[in-house]
Structures are given as structure tokens and as C-alpha cells.
Structure 1
Amino acid sequence: MTGEDRRRKLEEEHGMRFDYSFSSGFIPDLEKLSTRISFTALNNATESFDEHNLIGFGKKGKLYKAKLPYYDCLAAVKRFYNSRCLVKQCFSELMILGKFKHINIVPLLGFCIESTERLLVYKYMPNGNLYDWLHPMNNETKILDFHLRIKIAIGVARGLVWLHHNNFLIIHGNLCSSCILLDRNFEPKISNFGGAMFFSKSGSKELRLIQSDVYKYGVLLLELILGQDFYMPKETFKERISHPSTTIDTLYRAVDKSLIGRGNDAKIFSLLDIARGCVKPLPDERPTMLQVYKMLMDVKKINNGIEDYSETLTETDTTFTGFSDDNIELEIIEI
């Protein structure tokens, strides 16, 4: 599916027509999705985008920490580089994050479109991203114990279940540890929806796309347990994991040493087995994210030594703006 096809599908599903030039007549439609914030306010909140407020940068733009008036939380302001391609990604994120809300999806606070400026404003996540915790730089000491790792694994899975198994379908398409943000309690928030695809229902083609998210989740789960950076050529990774000589025992020998010998070995073996299922070469052999979530909950119960039903999918996990009945519980159906 081309970028233009994705744009048309998004526009049709949301009942809007947009021009990527973001003309003034287009702004009221966007204001239905999220709060419009002036560039002057964001400029002041970041102290003129001062470098000491810079908390991240990449191919899309720069991310700044900001304190906005009338908000009871810190914000993270993404200032996109001036590019037509990035304008489309900004639009996609705004459309999806503006309409759909979930505990494991990064909260969008607002947006700014003025002249050539394109900015999105998110709730600030004080513990940064998962990649930096798993691969600290410059001899930093960052430790994620097993409890936090399984909490993060479950939270990301819960978010993907909500995206995949709802009365709509969203394919993230770019899941990785650097786009998993962590709040003060290490609750994970999936971010980076610039390349996401939205569908009102799923067919055979969409189901294949879902399995791509499942595969990437499997890589993420292995990264969580092994502590290794798997962002290598796709075929190289597939060959290593699916090779007949690569057994669970082989993978266990590569487990992050900080997790070994702490009474969690049985749970680690179970997580490795789940991850291997997610990265099977044939997409049809991979589990759905709902199946993965249920397996992770079984592992969590073993970890606690008791039945633990605290991580259930409730109506608060499946709300989105514009839904008429706040009390209705959306049925999660396995595809």
C-alpha cells in the first residue's frame, strides 16, 4: 500500500478530506481531534527550542522537553523537519493519536501548524525510551529487573491487542524498543505512529500485515530478555533464530546476565518460547497478539505464585474519542 493509499484510507475512515499543505481552512477539522497550540506558546515553553531542552532527535525531527501553561504535566514537543514526506507522517500520527486513546499508547496533548512549522505535543515520559534502558551509553548504570521487563512486555502486548483486536484495526508497522516510552512507573507507551495504517475491518491482506507487528514484537521480547540489540538486517536475524541449532537452551545462554540466578529461570524459558513463536519464518504460524497476551499473563501468574487477574482488558483500555457510550465494553475477539 502506497503512502497515498494510506492517506485516502485514513481520510475516508475519519470522514475528512485533507491537503498536506495544511491550509487555514483545514485546521478546524484537526481541532476536532486534538488541542491546537500556538507556535509562540511552544517557543516559550521550550525557551526558543534551546538545546538544553533537547531530549532526542532523529530522521523526523527533534524532541524537546517543555512546560506548558494550563497543563499539570510536562510535555514533549516534536518539531518535524520541513519535508513533504514528514508532513504526511505528522498527519498520520495526529489522526491516530488524536482519535484513539489507550493506557499503553503515548498520549497526544496537542498540535501546532503554522507557516512551515509542524509540531506534535505529547505527554512527557520521565523514564525515556526502552532502548536506552537496555543499551545504556557512556557507562551509564541502568538496571531493569525481571519484574519491570515482564511488566513492559505485558503492557506493549496489551497495547497491540487493542490496536489489532477491536472494532477497528491499526497496524503500527515500526515497533521497536526506541519507540516504547516509559512513564514514571515504567508503564510502557507505544509511540511513533507516523507509518501506521488504519483499517475499519480486517481481510486477508490486513491479517498478513498484523503478523508483521507480531514478528517485531517477538524481536522486542527477545531484546528485553537477552539484552541484545537485534536491529540488524532482517534475514540475518531470521537465520539466527530459526536455525535448527538455535534451541531454547542456546538462547538461554545468551540471556542478560543480570536476570540469571534470581529465581526467574522458568519464566525466562517461557518468555523465550513465546518470542520464538512470534518470529517464526512463516507468518501463518505466528500467534495473534491476543494469544501472546494470554500467554504472558500465564507467565506472570507463575511469577507471582498465585492467580493474578490485575491485568485484564477492561472498557478503560478500549476507549476512543467520539464513542457515544462511555460505559460500553468493547468485545475483544480473537481473529
Structure 2
Amino acid sequence: MGSCCSVRIRADSPRRDGPSPRYVGIDGRDASSRRSSFSVPLTPRSESEILDSSNLKIFSFNDLRIATRNFRPDSVLGEGGFGCVFKGWIDENTFKAAKPGTGMVIAAKRLNQEGFQGHKEWLTEINYLGQLYHPNLVKLIGYCLEEEHRLLVYEFMPRGSLENHLFRRTSYFQPLSWNLRMKVALGAAKGLAYLHSPEAKVIYRDFKTSNILLDTNYNAKLSDFGLAKDGPKDGKSHVSTRVMGTYGYAAPEYMATGHLTARSDVYSFGVVLLEMLTGRRVIDKNRPHGEHNLIEWAKPYLASKRRVLQVMDARIQGQYTPSMALKATTLAIKCLATEPKYRPKMVEVVHILEQLQDSGIVKNEEIEKQRRTITKDYSRKAASYPRPLASPIA
């Protein structure tokens, strides 16, 4: 995650999947007010109130040290501004450290004392994930606060981040199919829709491919809530805050004014959807001149029904119909509208993606039907020809 300042840009701490430019600085956030999933308004709370009411397991540093095999380098799952995330094992009942390969697998995120994020971001994650529960939000199991040690313990997501599956060219990460991409997009959209709902009223503020984690069945879950904010209150149209987030994903009006709304998240969703459709990063300086910025490069193609297929990821060619591609790219365009009021709400995005997923199932059925027809025709033709006579025995 990153911090951001007035409007300085810097390269974030190196990640295993490559660095990404981010806005940096320190957000003067307090432990802002929260609402539980039952829509009970809460007043701004102190640190002790947040920790006491989180319903999370409190881990000792020693238990997490043993669970992660002393934070061994080969246990690292990822790395960011917060610090490293380590794979570990704990007993399902006692939550004590377990032998590797036994018990429950966890992901332990350890705060880097010299990083660009600190205690406030750590506390913000507990504030939100300690109270918000949804199938498309990663589950926070507990935390450790012991002297200078601060860690967060999450459920382990076996398939890692969407970013890895889209952009890492290794044999371990196979390209996601069209249907899986639409499934992931729908799951992530449902997570955002829940955050924006009256039950939660939260602005996520850091929606990007590296914060979308996948379980064994490619169900998407949003992670990393250190930049989340409560939505506007008392009839206000926006929340005023310092600009924080990741370069390329942040909405233009938020970058320009610091005015944050739920539509800011919608813009970020549009960026991620476009990355999923094209297989390209939103900012990629390794591309040829004129293609560094995905949105600027893709816009002329997206505006043309005839040219839209030219931006689609070649790795999923033939897995969708032109109408499905057009519907998905049209949705991305709407989410990326310069004027926030023209962007759809996330509940609308969910509805469109559900339709796309249904049409994907229909397409698969059509493909299977065609395959059976071709196989049947081939068998009929083969049966209509006489079998060759057996060769005479010499």
C-alpha cells in the first residue's frame, strides 16, 4: 500500500512482482468512525476501542515467529509498502503455531518499521476488517501488537493476486481464461458493491490488481484496507482527504481535488477491468512510445465497435463472442468516465457482469453443442465408407 502526499509521486518499495509507482505521503487520518454490517452508526473511536471490539484473535509475536518458521525468506508471499507477507501454519482450534503442512494456513503481514506505512494504516485495517464480513473480502483472523511488533493475520489465499495471473509470465501463473476473468471481475465488483452499500458505507480507495486475491476456486476477495475511508456523512457529497493510492488507478477528480466518493472506486474498477480485458498494465514504461498509458492508448479502439477487438488480450482469443467483448469494454468505458456522475454505481456493474457471466455459460454450451455435432457428423461419414479389406496373409 502506499501513502500519498500533496501530490508527490515516488516508486514504492520493490515487490516480487515488480514495482509500481504510487502517490506517497502521510494521510492525517484518525481512527475514523465505522459502521458494522448491521448499519449501526459508531462514533470515532480510540485505538483501545477499536482493538477491544474487533472480535479478532490476539496472537503473540513468538507464536507468529514459530508459525512462519522465523519469518524465513522462502516463506514470503509478497512485499509492499507495509512490509512482507509470510506464509505460516497455526492450529485450527488453539491458534497456536503448528508444524509446516499441518493445521490451518495463514498469511501474516508484518509491519516494516522503516516502511512508508505505519501504525495508523495497521489500525485502519483492524478497524474495517474487524467488523466487515463478506464473501468477497479477505478474512482477517487476528493481529499482534507486542512492543514494536505489529502484524496482521489473514486467511491464506492459495492462488495469490490477480496481478500475478495477469502480468507474470511464468509457468506457475497460467493466463486466466475469459470465463475466469469475468468470474474474478464479478467477485471483486460484489466486494466493492458491499463496501458502498448502506450497511457499510466505505470507500476502498486502493482498488487494483495486486489487492484482489484469489482462493482455490478463483473466488476474488479484496485485501489491504489501510487506505479505506468512511463515506461522506451528513448529506455531504464527498470526503475531503489527502490524495493517497496508486498511480494510474486513482480517479482524476480525486487526484486534482482530494474529493473522495464511491465513484472514485468505480473509476479504479474500470482501470482493473480494462487491464483484465487487454492483459496490459495501466502504466507500463516498457511498452512502445504512445502505449505507456493503457487508458490513453486504448480509448480510440474502445470508441469503435469495429476496432475494439484489437485491444483484447491475445491469450484469450476465441473464448468470447464479439458481443461479449463489446459489452465488457463498454462497461469499462462507463466506469472510466471523466465526470464521476456518468459512472455507474457498483450494483449496476455487478448486474452487467452477471449478465456477461450468464452469456459466457451459454457460449460454452454452444461450443460443446458444435463439438458434439462435428463429432457426430464425422462418425456418420466414417461409418458410410467401407472398411478396408484385411491384407492377405503371405
**Which is further off, 235-244 or 209-218?**
235-244
Q: Per chain length, whose mean CA-contact separation is higher, i.e. which structure has more relative contact order (CA < 8 Å, sep 6+)?
A: 1
Where does residue 283 of structure 2 map in the other structure?
231
Aligned to 2:359: 302
Q: Offset at 1:31?
A: 3.9
Shift of 1:82: 1.4
Deviations 1:78-120 (A, max 9, x none): 0011158411111101110011010000000100000011100
CA gap of 1:273–1:6, structure 2 versus 1, over 3 A, is farther
**Alpha-carbon distance in 1 for matches of 2:191, 2:302:** 33
Within a 5 Å distance, the mapping from 1:31-42 to structure 2 comes to 31-33=52-54, 34-42=56-64
CA RMSD of aligned residues (A): 2.8
Other-structure match for 1:134: 166
1:7 aligns with 2:31: yes
Does the Cα contact within 8 Å between 1:217 and 1:278 map onto a contact in 2?
Answer: yes
1:217 corresponds to: 269
- Alpha-carbon separation, structure 2, partners of 1:7 and 1:252: 46
- Normalised by the length of structure 1, the TM-score is 0.80
- Residues 290 and 129 of structure 1: is their aligned pair in 2 closer, same or farther, counting only changes over 3 Å? same
Q: Secondary structure at the match of 1:74?
A: strand
Q: CA deviation at 1:141?
A: 5.2
Q: Give 1:144 shift.
A: 0.9
Partner SS for 1:131 = helix
Are 2:90 and 1:68 equivalent residues in the alignment? yes
Judging changes above 3 Å, is the alpha-carbon distance between structure 1 residues 251 and 75 closer, same or farther for their aligned structure 2 residues? same
Identity of aligned residues (%): 28
Partners of 2:173 and 2:161 lie apart in 1 by 15
Structure 2: which amino acid aligns with 1:133?
H
**2: CA distance, partners of 1:268 / 1:203:** 37
In the other structure, the counterpart of 1:331 is: none
Matching residue within 23, 30, 39 for 2:51: 30
> What is the TM-score with the length of structure 2 in the denominator?
0.69
Kindly indicate whether the alpha-carbon contact (under 8 Å) linking 2:280 and 2:294 is maintained by their aligned counterparts in 1: no
* 1:144-159 matched pairs, under 5 angstroms: 144-159=176-191
Q: How does 1:30-109 map to 2 (within 5 A)?
A: 30-33=51-54, 34-69=56-91, 70=93, 72-82=103-113, 85-109=117-141
User: In terms of mean alpha carbon deviation, does 94-103 or 247-256 score higher?
Assistant: 247-256
Give structure 1 stretches of 5+ with no counterpart.
20-25, 307-335
Alignment partner of 1:277 out of 334, 339, 343: 334
User: Counterpart of 2:314?
Assistant: 257
Residues 10 and 88 of structure 1, relative CA distance in 2, 3 Å threshold: farther
Aligned to 2:344: 287
- Matched residues, number: 298
Largest Rg, 1 or 2: 2
Q: How does 1:127-206 map to 2 (within 5 A)?
A: 127-138=159-170, 142-199=174-231, 201=233, 203-205=236-238
The 1-side partners of 2:162 and 2:220 are apart by 8
TM superposition shift of 1:241: 4.5
Q: Does structure 1 residue 18 correspond to structure 2 residue 46?
A: yes
Mean Cα deviation higher: 186-195 or 261-270: 261-270
The answer as to whether partners of 2:163 and 2:210 remain within 8 angstroms in 1 is: yes
Separation (CA, whole Å) in 1 of partners of 2:236 and 2:354: 28
- Cα displacement string for residues 218-239 of structure 1 (whole angstroms, at most 9, x for unaligned residues): 1111111111111369x94554
Q: Deviations over 1:253-287 (max 9, x none)?
A: 02111221234332122111111110011111111
Q: Give the letter aligned to residue 123 of structure 1.
A: E
Distance 2:294 2:344 in 1: 19
Equivalent-residue separation in structure 1 for 2:163 and 2:194 (angstroms): 23
Match of 1:314 in 2: none
